[in-house]
Structure 1
Amino acid sequence: MEIKKSLFDNLQNFFGFDNFKGEQEAIITSILQKKDTFVIMPTGGGKSICYQLPALMSDGTAIVISPLIALMKNQVDQLRAFGGTESIAHFLNSSLNKAEITKVRQDVLSGETKLLYVAPESLTKTENVDFLRLIKVSFVAVDEAHCISEWGHDFRPEYRKIRQVINNIGDNIPIIALTATATPKVQQDIQKNLQMNNATLFKSSFNRPNLYYEVRPKRNVLKEIIKFIKGNMGKSGIVYCLSRKKVEEVAEALNLNGIKALPYHAGLDAKVRADTQDAFLMEDVEVIVATIAFGMGIDKPDVRYVIHHDIPKSMEGYYQETGRAGRDGGEGICLAFYSEKDIEKLTKFMKDKPVSEREIGTQILKEVIDYAESSVCRRKQILHYFGENFNEAGCNSMCDNCSHPKTYFDATEKLRTTLSLIDVLGEKFDDHYFINILIGVDNQQISSYEHDKLREFGSGKQDGIDLWKSLMRQALLNNYIAKDTDNYGLLKLTRSGKNFVENPHNIRFIMNKPIEAGDDEADDGPSQGGTALDTQLLQMLKELRKKIAKQKNLPPFVIFQDPSLEEMCTHYPVNVEELKQIHGVGSGKALKFGGPFVQLISKYVEENDIDRPVDLVIKSAANKSALKVSIIQNIDRHIALEDIASAKGITYEDILREVESIVNSGTKLNLNYYIDEMIDEDRQDEVFDYFRGSEIDSVDDALRELGSDDYTREEVQLMRIKFLSELGN
């Protein structure tokens, strides 16, 4: 009971959270009891707190082995922000000079440092092993533990030496291994290599309920991506591409269309990559266009969308990459574009590999194809891949397949025929082979086994290949059949499958809608529901956060995360004590950063005469008149038009239209603060004189007369607004 109370007190005081997520409490208790602990938890599930909190509560220093320097730096910055002291957390890696290393060692030896982050390469150095022998190690946390396994997607040979180094540092040091990969082979490899077969295993659900999954046919893909991002301006996002060349092309196209984007791939200089990551964290750019080299080292909780310009190579990769979205529990849209040409490219990449590797690669790729082409709940398919059964009713229409009407077919006889065929042929073939028998494809393999003489051969030809693909996929998802992963996806009947053959019951399956024949019009994500916020205050708080972040050279989310700012906009805390009650703040952060925020909120509440009982939520009406009032107020405060658009979640073109409407209705607006920065005085006079002498206010006519080489449409539009405001009102 005492440990439980202490846990919650420390969680509240240090991190500002009232409750643990999932199995965090049990995991932390296991570590505090000095037990080896193995944690399999999806991205965004809150892994880091599982070792950060027990480290803060334990005697000595916890060693955290982490594969990426950028990830270490982000976590150390956050811990210092929460804890209020520089010495509470340090990292030890190749980026430090001798003086910095000396300072780290002094703080660790003095007992002030509770967490020491170490790269695996640094851990194995003799001088570091000798140093670590001098200190009391509370436990070792192996983050991204799948790097140990050659079966994992990020294998790092240095990780396989970790156990040996721990043995050299001291005896009976507890280990917590953490990974976001749940493949059974990887799990076994980690436990064997770290010699922790008796570890307590905690495996969380891989469901991320806040993520919306969508797959679209790949037509006008660049236009679709730009349209989507323009509809989500002011939000951070990542666009993944397969090749470096495509990364550069897409990044350039986004910038040309007014979207601040940077490319990221392994071909760039290390400093450029580091600067790019910092620019994204500091919100100087909205979008990173990247190969899969980007993401693992980014601990940015408020990525609002992840777009796959090209379909990924594996479901594991897809889950990891989409997992960058909505890590704070907020909005996260995962949009992938799919075409058969992408699959052809990926298949060509594998042609020079050894046969066994190519066979495995083909099976892995086939999972991606099935996912992209299927009309079944996307979430159900993802979770099934990780060995988790899921009822699609729990998706809550948070994928495109669940949010659109479905076509069903009676699968009873067809399923029984298929299962019987798999059983009769001795579970020696994959789904592609059985489908070929059912639709009557007379190829060499089928004829060599004389399976073209079976009565089932060609019996389903009239139903078409899409129906049989759909049936096979759903038979797998509903656990009537299973794939033998060690033998290239050969199908075998489960107990449920055998029972169905003996005692069939009526069953309906969803008919696949061929994605290449999809509609040209596609939704841009889920409808955005939820509580309306005081968006005017939210923008002011974000501006303040950005200013403080720049002063302190920290990413903005280290100061306060978006959900904390949003809660401030519903509860209006006007002193530090009230600020401590805001979710995710805590006393350390409230004292370190809170002053300017409560001053701004207090002034805002007074100036706007806001009644603020604790449970009050200010709802800004989502109508045109409320939007116009807010735009007028923001222009009076000299806020840039693109910033107003971003805060309101509308495009720059929309804001210009709204401003024109306000001016046309008789309200005078002073936009000189904005226009003077964009257009020099002489050119302003020229456009002003044109409109003074013109009988019509057409922007197109003005552009023709003034010359489209000398003026942009936006410049003429702004000058027309100024002209109407100053002379018409």
Structure 2
Amino acid sequence: MSQYSQLEKALKYHFGYENFRPGQREIIENALSNRDLLIIMPTGGGKSLCFQLPALIKKGVTVVVSPLIALMQDQVEALRKNGVAATFLNSSLNSYQTRSREQYILQGKVKLLYVAPERLISDRFLPFLDLIHHQVGISAFAIDEAHCVSEWGHDFRPEYRQLILLRKRYTDVPTWAFTATATDRVRNDIIQQLGLKDPSIHIASFNRQNLYYEVRPKKKNAYAELLELIRDSEGSGIVYCLTRKKVDEITFKLQHDKISALPYHAGLTDEERTQNQTRFIRDDVRVMVATIAFGMGINKPDVRFVIHFDIPRNLESYYQESGRAGRDGEASRCTLFFSYADVKIIEFLINQKSEAQEQLIAKQQLRQMIDYAEGTDCRRTIQLSYFGERFLGNCDNCDNCRYPKPVQDWTLEAMKFLSCVARCKEKFGMGHIIDVLRGAKTQKIAQYEHEKLSTYGIGKDKSVEEWRMLGRSLLHQGLLEQSTDGYAVLKLNALSWEVMRRQRTVSIPVTVTQKLTWNEDNAKTVEAEMLLQRLRSLRKQLADEQSVPPYVIFADSTLKLMAQVKPQTKDAFSQLSGVGSHKLSQYGDKFIAEIRAYCQEHNSQEQKLNPTSSLTSVSATALQTLLLYQQGLSVSEIAEKRNLRPTTIFSHLCDLIEKNQPIDINHLVPPEKQQKILQVLEILGDIALTPIKEYLGDTYSFEEIRLVRSQWRKKSHKN
């Protein structure tokens, strides 16, 4: 049997998945060849599997270094539910539990041992580690959250620096370092501080395609909008706030409005924080309202929404915090409420820093965060460029791509605004400039006699928000500057004077007030939704009986597949993504019984999909498109029903064709066109679409070429 089939077989047997995510297979192959590894893979990218699967295949014990007790306990529990021999040793165990686990390890009954760095490097533990190495063998050291080793990382921990002891003590044991984010400087520090020898380095894309990003202006009714967002969303969510006071306030309001919510911040006792986190992870409470103290220890893959009610301090924090949504790969939403009042709070906190250089860096990072919030480019383009990754935009999964803002010529208004800054001698912030333009009668205007300025009252035709929108856009476009002394005083530059001399025009995106609806799951029939709720109830019941989080039983994505496909035999059930051999034997009968009962009550049938292709290879969102297509809906009808672009539906159909699902492209592309496209593909091969289209001419659409190419690829792979 080839290594290819062996690895896939092990993946399905232990974890229930038939296909690796991008990069996983190559990483695992390098791990099995005893190489040192440095893996930078964003949250939700599947980095845990990259050390868990090799640990099951290799001889001996893989020692996993994990910085948080709660996190290691959750991971071990999830592994055990998959039938994997894993355990942990930490301070939560009594002496009897510790001794019995140590005996199991020395008897070769454990494949993965989780331990905190403090314990690992202690004088008492190192001799035990020597004993493990001598009796059963240590296959590798897997260092999770490896950025903690670097002073330049965002979560430096001194004890991580001492882990180089492992390399000196066990020279023949490979070290695998894993982290979610790391700059070039941090990567080099990890290699040096852990003593990695010629490591295989893998840097995955930071693009989380399943996350929908949006920014909303934070107005007076922001709480009502927040409440509506939560009520319109399904599943669990996190609401991040800047201060403890705001966390308590939002929690109180949500509870008053019948939303199951709990707070999490440094002002609570350790016991309260642990209890609240456990209740959230186990779905006893739906929403966690938190400061950034609620961070690295969250091992909950089915968070469906993350809302930042206040702006974060920098883009890296926002990426990590929003990235706690949708770690299971399912569609999830990330919303940021943005207001300059919050910016002022962060500026005040920055000004409390003692080092001038620290202040400067923090202000620059905040400026980048504001640029993101105000930006009209694709949200992914802005985020990924921060991490040095190029993305060309049009992601179709952010507010700026789905709802592009119309651009208007505001040159005249810009001249008025900049002239007012000049007349005020570049000594005031945006609020005062707008007051002067609108002819307000404030104490500050009277104090400086600015009612006598020629620009006083020349902007009465625009609202405060419209002038503020212009001011932000001028800053974003570099046509105006802002002081970095914490006072945000507006300053003119050379480009400002070009505008005032009519040498440069100014166009700005004008926000159109609209309710942005979230209809990613609109394609679900009422029937599938009802069955999904019953399956969730069963999952919660089983999880409570075993005192584990519900996602440990089955992931949301697997439940959705159950509700859509309605498998009523063990063979069909075993084909679902996320159903391994252990979970099939442990839970299969209970879930099949629930599905059968539902189908009998509602006279519903199992969905018959192509048996020659495993459902594990089909994404949940593509499967929804397939079920609608099988009901006879056209591409445009499916797109409208799912609130997606037709190009996205075509992408689903192409993917389904290549995965051997029953799509008849004769209904989508005329046979004579198919024949011509196939001839060109045979000549040019599997290349980009544009040269193929140029060869064929304008009578052929990109969508037609893509569909035929997918059909051609499927046949080519068969041959």
On whether the aligned pair clears a TM of 0.5, the verdict is: yes
Please show how residues 65-84 of structure 1 align to structure 2 within 5 Å. 65-83=65-83
* CA shift digits 1:426-456 (9 cap, x unpaired): xxxxxxxxx99x9999779xxxxxxxxxxxx
8 Å Cα contact 2:315-2:369 kept in structure 1: yes
SS in 2 for 1:72: helix
| Change in 2 beyond 3 A, CA 1:6/1:439 | farther
Amino acid at match of 1:95: S
Following TM superposition, by how much is the alpha carbon of 1:605 offset from its aligned partner in structure 2, in angstroms?
2.8
Change in 2 beyond 3 A, CA 1:215/1:61: same
Alignment of 1:25-64 (within 5 A): 25-64=25-64
Q: How does 1:541-552 map to 2 (within 5 A)?
A: 541-552=535-546
Instruction: Look up the match of 2:107.
Output: 110
Aligned counterpart in structure 1 of residue 95 of structure 2, from 70, 95, 98? 98
User: CA–CA distance in 2 between the matches of 1:106 and 1:323?
Assistant: 39
Following the alignment from structure 2 to structure 1, what is the Cα–Cα distance between the partners of residues 239 and 379? Answer: 20
Q: Secondary structure at the match of 2:181?
A: coil
Letter of the 1:31 counterpart: A
Q: 1:209 to 1:120 in 2, by over 3 A?
A: same
Structure 1 residue 60 displacement after superposition: 0.6
Equivalent residue, structure 1, for 2:400: 401
Pair 1:124-2:117 in alignment: no
Q: How many residues align?
A: 537
For residues 286-685 of structure 1, the aligned pairs below 5 Å read 286-353=286-353, 354-393=355-394, 395-396=395-396, 398-408=397-407, 466=472, 468-472=474-478, 511-513=508-510, 521-525=514-518, 528-532=521-525, 534-615=528-609
Q: Distance in 2 between matches of 1:399 and 1:439?
A: 37
Report how far residue 520 of structure 1 moved: 5.7
Deviation readout 1:655-704 (Å, 9 max, x if unpaired): xxxxxxxxxxxxxxxxxxxxxxxxxxxxxxxxxxxxxxxxxxxxxxxxxx
* SS of aligned partner of 1:126: coil
Cα deviation for residue 264 of structure 1 reads: 0.6
CA gap 1:528/1:599 in 2 versus in 1, 3 angstroms: closer
Do 2:146 and 2:179's aligned partners in 1 also have CA atoms closer than 8 Å? yes
Taking the aligned partners of 2:13 and 2:588, their CA distance within structure 1 comes to 15
Matched residues in 1 for 2:23 and 2:94: separation?
A: 39
In structure 2, relative to structure 1, the CA distance for the partners of 1:522 and 1:440 (3 Å cut) is farther
Structure 1 residue 216, shift from structure 2 partner: 1.1
What amino acid maps onto 1:104 in structure 2? R
| 1:197 CA drift (Å) | 6.0
**Which residue in the other structure is 1:201 paired with?**
201
> Residues 57-100 of structure 1: CA distance to partner in whole angstroms, max 9, x if unpaired?
110111111111111111111100011x6xx1111112111111
Distance 1:344 1:612 in 2: 57
SS at match of 2:164: helix
Cα separation, partners in 2 of 1:96 and 1:439, compared to 1, 3 Å: farther
Query: How far apart in 2 are the matches of 1:598 and 1:339?
Result: 50
Alignment-mate amino acid for residue 373 of structure 1: E
Give the drift of 1:621. 12
Greater Cα offset, 256-265 or 210-219: 210-219
Gaps of 5+ in 1: 412-434, 445-461, 474-507, 623-729
Q: Contact between 1:215 and 1:337, CA under 8 Å: does it hold in 2?
A: yes
SS in 1 for 2:163: helix
The answer to whether residue 8 in structure 2 is matched with residue 14 in structure 1 is no
Residues in 1 aligned to 2:422 and 2:576: alpha-carbon distance in whole angstroms: 61
Rounded to whole Å, the distance in 2 between the matches of 1:618 and 1:70 is 36
Find the residue that maps to 1:534 and give its secondary structure. Answer: helix
Q: Structure 2: which amino acid aligns with 1:597?
A: F
Answer yes or no: is the 8 Å Cα contact 2:407–2:509 preserved in 1. Answer: no
Q: Which runs of 5+ in 2 are unaligned?
A: 411-417, 428-466, 480-504, 611-622, 629-719
Taking a change above 3 Å as real, the CA distance of residues 440 and 183 of structure 1, as seen in their structure-2 partners, is farther
Distance 1:351 1:198, change over 3 A: same
* Separation of aligned partners in 1, 2:403 and 2:560: 31
TM-score (norm 2): 0.70
Distance change (3 Å), C-alpha of 1:48 and 1:621? closer
Counterpart position of 2:142: 141
1:173 pairs with 2:170: no
For 1:349, give the aligned amino acid.
L
Determine the C-alpha separation between the residues in 1 that align with 2:477 and 2:571.
59
SS in 2 for 1:567: helix
Specify the code of the residue in structure 2 equivalent to 1:535.
E
| Cα deviation digits, residues 153-188 of structure 1 (max 9, x gap) | 2111111111124423x2221111111113222222
Maintained 8 Å contact 1:216/1:522: no
Instruction: Report what 1:231 is aligned to.
Output: 232
Separation in 1 of the partners of 2:72 and 2:376? 40
How many angstroms apart in 2 are the aligned matches of 1:509 and 1:470? Answer: 12
Whole-angstrom distance in 2 between the partners of 1:313 and 1:591: 48
Q: Partner letter of residue 406 of structure 1?
A: K
What residue in structure 2 maps to residue 89 of structure 1?
A: 86
Partner of 2:277: 277
1:48 to partner: Cα distance: 0.5
Conserved 8 A contact 1:238-1:307: yes
Distance 1:166 1:130, change over 3 A: farther
User: Within 1, Cα distance between the matches of 2:168 and 2:65?
Assistant: 15
Distance 1:53 1:251, change over 3 A: same
Note the alpha carbon deviations across 1:214-266, whole angstroms, 9 max, x for none.
Answer: 1111112222111111122x510000011111111111110000000000112
Change (3 A) 1:443 1:99: same
Structure 1 Cα separation of the partners of residues 597 and 609 of structure 2: 20
Give distance in 2, aligned partners of 1:580 and 1:440. Answer: 74
Letter in 1 for 2:93: L
| Aligned mates of 2:599, 2:515 — CA distance in 1 | 42
Determine helix, strand or coil for the equivalent of 2:368. Answer: helix
Q: Distance in 1 between matches of 2:46 and 2:301?
A: 11
> Which one-letter code corresponds to 1:274 in the other structure?
T
Superposition RMSD on alpha carbons, in Å? 2.9
CA distance in 1, matches of 2:627, 2:65: 49
Aligned CA distance change for structure 1 residues 82 and 522 (closer, same or farther; 3 Å): same
1:465 Cα shift?
Answer: 5.5
**What SS does the corresponding residue of 1:325 show, helix, strand or coil?**
coil
**Kept in 2: contact 1:534–1:569 (CA 8 A):** yes
Asked whether the 8 Å contact 2:295–2:321 carries over to 1, the reply is yes
CA contact (8 A) 2:374 2:473 kept: no
Alpha-carbon distance in structure 1 between the residues aligned to 2:507 and 2:306: 27
Query: How far apart, CA to CA, are the structure 2 residues paired with 1:341 and 1:364?
Result: 17
When normalised by structure 1's length, the TM-score is 0.69
Q: C-alpha deviations, 1:469-522, integer Å up to 9, x for none?
A: 44459xxxxxxxxxxxxxxxxxxxxxxxxxxxxxxxxxx998355xxxx56654
- Give the match for residue 706 of structure 2: none
Could you tell me which amino acid in structure 2 is paired with residue 159 of structure 1?
Y
Distance of 1:384 and 1:240 partners within structure 2: 24
CA distance in 2, matches of 1:189, 1:525: 42
Kept in 2: contact 1:42–1:180 (CA 8 A) = yes
The residue identity in structure 2 corresponding to 1:376 is D
- How far the C-alpha of 1:567 sits from its partner, in A, is 1.0
SS in 2 for 1:154: coil
